Chain A
């Protein structure tokens, strides 16, 4: 079972308390001005990364909050979790420098 750190609860908890919610940092364009291609990309086009992948999770059986995580899709290791609305952390820096 994956152990996931919830940035709101400050605890590392079993995967069963969480729900996956797709890729993170997908920005919704203004539908009244977006071209068909931009709207298609927003709806359907995902990075499908092999390696570190920024994704949304929800601590549904806990604090209820959505947050973001960087998970390595090869090893399934969680490299970082951070609150929703904050930018993707630069993992080449140490934790104090981020």
Chain B
């Protein structure tokens, strides 16, 4: 199944009894870099307790995912982008808006985790519900969030999205083909 970039609009992209792939509504995204010494000050200014363990997520409306020892991904409702960008932070850091870099896809359904294994060399169970990771999916660097046992979110770079979603759509159909 081929997905062309023009069909990538929010809504259901592929669905079967096994899983559903939905493109999510746009959100605001920021890349945050800060050293350990500045972590608390930077997090405090943003109203977040920035996690130190890679893969852990903090926050509710504004979510922060720890991608590396000094790197976090911040995801927030679109309307908060301006406020986050204008936050005054009195510590050395880098806060870059990357809202348009990625598209988010929701993958859920009874066999959502199995669907992900079509292009993912990693053991999905190494990621507990409520965590996320930057990882590798069929040639593309992606960020996965596990919202529930069979509920996933995947942030894919815009240019890789047709390729990644095509594989997921094929997998959706294959899983019920028997």
Is B54's CB within 8 Å of the partner chain A? Answer: yes
Binds A, one of B15-23, B91-99, B130-138: B130-138
Chain B residues in 8 Å Cβ range of A13? 122
Q: Mark B103-127, 1 if CB is under 8 A from A, else 0.
A: 0000000000000000001100010
Within 8 A of A (CB), among B29-88: 53-55, 67-69, 71
Q: Tally of A-B residue pairs with Cβ under 8 A?
A: 41
Contact A61 B67 (CB under 8 A): no
Contact B122 A8 (CB under 8 A): no
Q: When A8-B69, A17-B135 are in contact, do A63 and B122 touch as well, CB less than 8 Å? A: no
Number of interface residues of B (CB under 8 A): 15
Rounded to whole Å, the gap between the CB of B134 and the closest CB of chain A is 6
Using CB atoms and an 8 Å cutoff, list the residues of chain A in contact with chain B. Answer: 1, 8-11, 13-14, 16-17, 60-65
Known interface pairs A9-B54, A10-B54; 15 further A-B residue pairs with C-beta atoms within 8 A, sorted by A's residue number: A8-B69, A9-B55, A14-B136, A16-B136, A17-B122, A61-B134, A61-B135, A61-B141, A62-B134, A62-B135, A63-B54, A63-B69, A63-B71, A64-B67, A64-B68
